[in-house]
Each structure stands twice: as structure tokens, then as C-alpha cells.
């Protein structure tokens, strides 16, 4: 199940209490205070990872706690520190303090760490209180409490390219051909219920991340279809790739109309979504009606100065070119002419 929001409590460990004890040794009459400090409580640490792409793990796990520090020991031994609680979160997770609504951290890079709740320090043991006038103090301090917070996790995937289009235009098929991702593909609308991410090799040393967003329809920004919940995942992608098709038997569908309607949806959701680099991928060019329409569509997008490519994800025609076409857009090297057949 795809979950992109979760609210959890994070509780760092309390520090261990200081110890009150006196040295007891043979032949030493007044050994003096020797109680050690308590150990530090564990922190709650958030760590960004590319190994998971949803917050589903946190749907039921609502409280995450680090371990408390141990009480100080004899012979001025400090208690053991409490173990940290490390929480792995998908790259792209924004973390908010629920009470203040303040953004605490945006986990954008693999391996990024953030201490969201600090463990309490250990309390002083009685050896700390030894003075010239008080040689036998029994005073100690309890450990300091660990921080506690209620935080909201919000995932906004970070991809280089988002495939955007009507249901069943072949977005998932494209991502399965280009990348290591193996999403579900189906001849019915809304096969994809959650974004899929895949890594696409590009050039000798570069690659890019491609996301397939569940099919959008007119009214998506008002909640039609799978709606608004997935539009936010397009917010942080560099390039929007509109996937279009020439349908048969759907009189109300037309590739240019589809494109305009979805552009409108993106703009209604967030204006600057339409300002970012966009390209158009005409899929299913193995079908005769697509071949027929291709030249007109190419001319239309050329007029708008939008890079255009025609492919077939099923026969793999032009799919290698698509890999570079999208990569060029990501790295800002796109030239429309070079992709014309
Ligand atoms: N003829 C032809 N069919 C294709 C091509 N690409 C995809 N299809 C078919 O189109 C249907 C939908 O493909 P998907 O990849 O699931 O489409 P999608 O855009 O991910 O659809 P949603 O997840 O529902 O939004 C499947 O039956 C595919 O086999 C193509 O290049 N040519
Ligand atoms: Mg799909």
C-alpha cells in the first residue's frame, strides 16, 4: 500500500540517573563518594534512504522510542548510553513539527541524517559533589528527560522525470522498458495506484530517476479520479513528460485535447508546474491510427517549441532514443531536431 503521509510520536531516551555510592576498600577507612554519572539517553535519528518509496511502515507504528541511559555505576563509572532509534525514511520526506507546523527537515539526499529528538544527558553521580567541606555528599541528579515530539511525515517523491498522462496511455509500460522498475500494467484505467520509480541509465556515468504517476483526468486538481493526492509528487520533478496516445473508440479523447486538459490540471494545482521543462511522448506508434496522426502532432508541438518523440513501448520502437531524449531534457541538452525520424 502506498502511504505518503503519517503522523508519529518520537521519544528520545531519558538520561540515566546519577549514582550515590562510596568507595569501600580494605584498609581505606573513608573511601569517599564514587557514584558515576548516568548514561546519555538515545536520540531519535531520521535517515534518508532510496530503498523504500512509501511511508507505509508508519501507518501502524505510531510511537518510536530510543532507549534510556543506564544509571551511573560504582567507581565513578558512567552508565551505558541508551541506543539511538534510527528511522529509515524514503528520500523526499518532509518532516514537520505537528504542533508548530514548522518544517524541521527535508530529507533530500540518500544517507542524510537528522536528529529529530535528542536524548537527555545523564544525571551527576555523587562523586561530582565532593568538596573540601563536604567529603561525603549523597547528592545525585536524576537523568534529564529525552525530547518528545509529535511529527508529521509527508512524502513528495523526488524524480528527474515524471510521466504524466491519461489512464492507460502506457506510462507504466514505458517505465518498465526504460528502467529497472516493474510496475503493474493493465488494459484498464487506473492500473497504477501509486507512483513507481525507476532508475534509467544515461550515457556512460549518468542516470536519472523516472516516476510514473497514476493516470490523471480532467478535474484531477479537484479530486477527480485518483486526483490531487498524486499531483504533489510532480512538484519536485525536473521534467514533466506528457505521454499521449491516439485512442480509437473514445470520441471525447483527442491527444491534443488530452494534453491541454492535463496542462490545465497541473496549472490549477500549482502554477509553476507548467513552467518547468516539458516534453511530449506519443506512445503506441505501432498502431495505424497513431502513425497517421504522428506528423500533425509533431508539427503542433514543434510550433509550441516542445520537444516531441513518437515511440512504441510494446514493440520497443524508438525506446532507446526515448531514453536519451528524456535524459537530454533532464540535463538540459535537448534539441528538438535531433529526435526527428
Ligand atoms: N499497442 C500498444 N499498446 C500499448 C503500448 N504501450 C502500452 N500499451 C498497452 O496499453 C495498456 C495500458 O498500459 P499501462 O502501461 O498500464 O498504462 P498506464 O498509462 O500506466 O495506465 P494507468 O496506470 O492506468 O494510468 C496496456 O494494455 C498496455 O499493454 C504501445 O506502445 N502500443
Ligand atoms: Mg500505470
24 vs 153, higher pLDDT? 153
Residue 172: the pLDDT is: 94
Name, in order, each residue with C-beta under 8 angstroms of 231's C-beta and a sequence gap of 6 or more.
216, 220, 221, 265, 266, 269, 270, 273
Residue 106: the pLDDT is: 95
Please check whether residue 208 is in contact with residue 330, taking contact to mean a CB–CB distance below 8 angstroms.
yes
The b/e string for 48-57 (b: 16+ C-beta within 10 A; e otherwise) is: beeeebbbee
Name, in order, each residue with C-beta under 8 angstroms of 178's C-beta and a sequence gap of 6 or more.
198, 200, 210, 319, 322, 323, 326
* Phi-psi domain of 92 (left: phi exceeds 0; alpha: psi -120 through 50; beta: other): left
**Chosen CATH of 1-155 out of 3.30.420.40, 2.70.210.12, 3.40.720.10, 1.10.260.40:** 2.70.210.12
Nearest atom of ligand 1 to the alpha carbon of 312 = 31
Average pLDDT, the chain: 90
Q: Residue 160's closest CA among 335, 279, 313?
A: 279
For ligand 1, whether the C-beta of 170 sits within 6 Å is yes
Determine how many CB atoms are found less than 10 A away from the CB of residue 299.
10
Whether 223 shows a pLDDT value over 80: the answer reads: no
Determine how many CB atoms are found less than 10 A away from the CB of residue 98.
13
Section 172-186 average pLDDT? 89
Residue 232: the pLDDT is: 82
**Chosen CATH of 161-339 out of 1.10.357.10, 3.40.50.300, 3.90.120.10, 1.20.1260.10:** 3.40.50.300
Whether 228 shows a pLDDT value over 90: the answer reads: no
For ligand 1, whether the C-beta of 185 sits within 6 Å is yes
Looking at the DSSP bridge assignments, the partners of residue 47 are: 88, 113
CA distance 56 to 159: 19
Q: Residue 220's closest CA among 249, 262, 160, 158?
A: 262
- 86 Cα to the center of ligand 2, angstroms: 33
Determine how many CB atoms are found less than 10 A away from the CB of residue 261.
17
212 vs 281, higher pLDDT? 281
- 285 Cα to the center of ligand 1, angstroms: 12
Whether 229 shows a pLDDT value over 80: the answer reads: no
Q: What is the pLDDT of residues 94-117, one digit of tens each?
A: 999 999 999 999 999 999 999 999
Residue 335: the pLDDT is: 56
Residue 64: the pLDDT is: 95
Please check whether residue 309 is in contact with residue 321, taking contact to mean a CB–CB distance below 8 angstroms.
yes
Q: What percent of the chain has pLDDT over 70?
A: 97
What does residue 209 show for φ and ψ, rounded to 5 degrees? -105, 130
The ranges assigned to domains in the chain are 1-155, 161-339
Whether 39 shows a pLDDT value over 80: the answer reads: yes
Same fold, 1-155 and 161-339: no
Testing ligand 1's pocket by substitution, the residue of 175, 177, 179, 186 carrying the most ligand atoms inside 8 A of its CB is 186
Q: What are the Cα distances from residue 130, in Å, to 19, 38, 122? A: 13, 17, 18
- 328 Cα to the center of ligand 1, angstroms: 24
**What cell numbers appear for 125 in the block?**
553521580
CA distance 297 to 258: 12
Residue 178: the pLDDT is: 94
Residue 195: the pLDDT is: 84
Q: What is the pLDDT of residues 239-264, one digit of tens each?
A: 999 999 998 877 788 999 999 999 99
For ligand 1, whether the C-beta of 196 sits within 6 Å is no
For ligand 1, whether the C-beta of 313 sits within 6 Å is yes
Residue 84: the pLDDT is: 97
Amino acid at each position: 500500500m502506498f502511504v505518503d503521509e503519517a503522523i508519529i510520536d518520537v521519544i528520545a531516551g531519558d538520561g540515566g540517573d546519577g549514582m550515590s555510592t562510596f568507595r569501600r576498600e580494605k584498609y581505606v577507612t573513608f573511601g569517599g563518594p564514587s557514584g558515576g554519572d548516568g548514561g546519555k539517553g538515545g536520540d531519535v535519528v531520521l535517515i534518508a534512504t532510496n530503498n523504500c518509496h512509501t511511508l507505509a511502515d508508519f501507518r501502524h507504528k505510531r510511537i518510536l522510542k530510543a532507549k534510556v541511559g543506564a544509571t551511573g555505576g560504582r567507581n565513578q563509572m558512567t552508565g551505558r548510553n541508551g541506543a539511538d532509534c534510527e528511522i529509515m525514511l524514503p528520500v523526499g520526506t518532509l518532516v514537520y513539527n505537528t504542533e508548530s507546523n514548522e518544517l524541521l527537515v527535508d530529507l533530500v539526499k540518500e544517507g542524510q541524517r537528522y536528529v529529530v529528538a535528542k536524548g537527555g544527558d545523564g544525571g551527576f553521580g555523587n562523586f561530582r559533589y565532593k568538596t573540601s567541606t563536604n567529603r561525603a555528599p549523597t547528592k545525585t541528579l536524576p537523568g534529564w528527560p529525552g525530547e518528545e515530539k509529535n511529527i508529521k511525515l509527508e512524502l513528495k517523491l523526488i524524480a528527474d522525470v515524471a510521466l504524466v498522462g491519461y489512464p492507460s496511455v502506457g506510462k507504466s509500460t514505458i517505465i518498465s522498458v526504460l528502467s529497472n522498475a516493474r510496475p503493474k500494467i493493465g488494459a484498464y484505467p487506473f492500473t497504477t495506484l501509486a507512483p513507481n520509480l525507476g532508475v534509467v541509465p544515461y550515457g556512460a556515468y549518468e542516470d536519472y530517476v523516472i516516476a510514473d504517476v497514476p493516470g490523471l483526468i480532467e478535474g484531477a486538481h479537484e479530486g477527480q479520479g485518483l486526483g490531487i493526492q498524486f499531483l504533489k509528487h510532480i512538484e519536485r520533478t525536473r521534467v514533466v513528460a506528457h505521454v499521449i496516445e491516439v485512442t480509437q473508440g473514445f470520441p471525447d479523447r483527442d491527444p491534443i485535447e488530452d494534453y491541454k486538459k492535463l496542462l490545465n490540471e497541473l496549472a490549477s494545482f500549482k502554477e509553476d508546474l507548467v513552467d518547468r521543462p516539458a516534453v511530449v511522448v506519443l506512445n503506441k506508434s505501432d498502431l495505424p491510427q497513431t502513425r497517421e496522426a504522428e506528423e500533425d502532432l509533431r508539427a503542433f508541438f514543434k510550433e509550441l517549441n516542445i520537444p516531441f518523440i513518437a515511440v512504441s513501448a510494446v514493440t520497443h520502437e524508438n525506446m532507446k532514443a526515448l531514453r536519451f531524449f528524456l535524459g537530454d531534457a533532464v540535463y538540459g541538452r535537448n534539441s528538438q531536431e535531433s529526435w526527428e525520424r
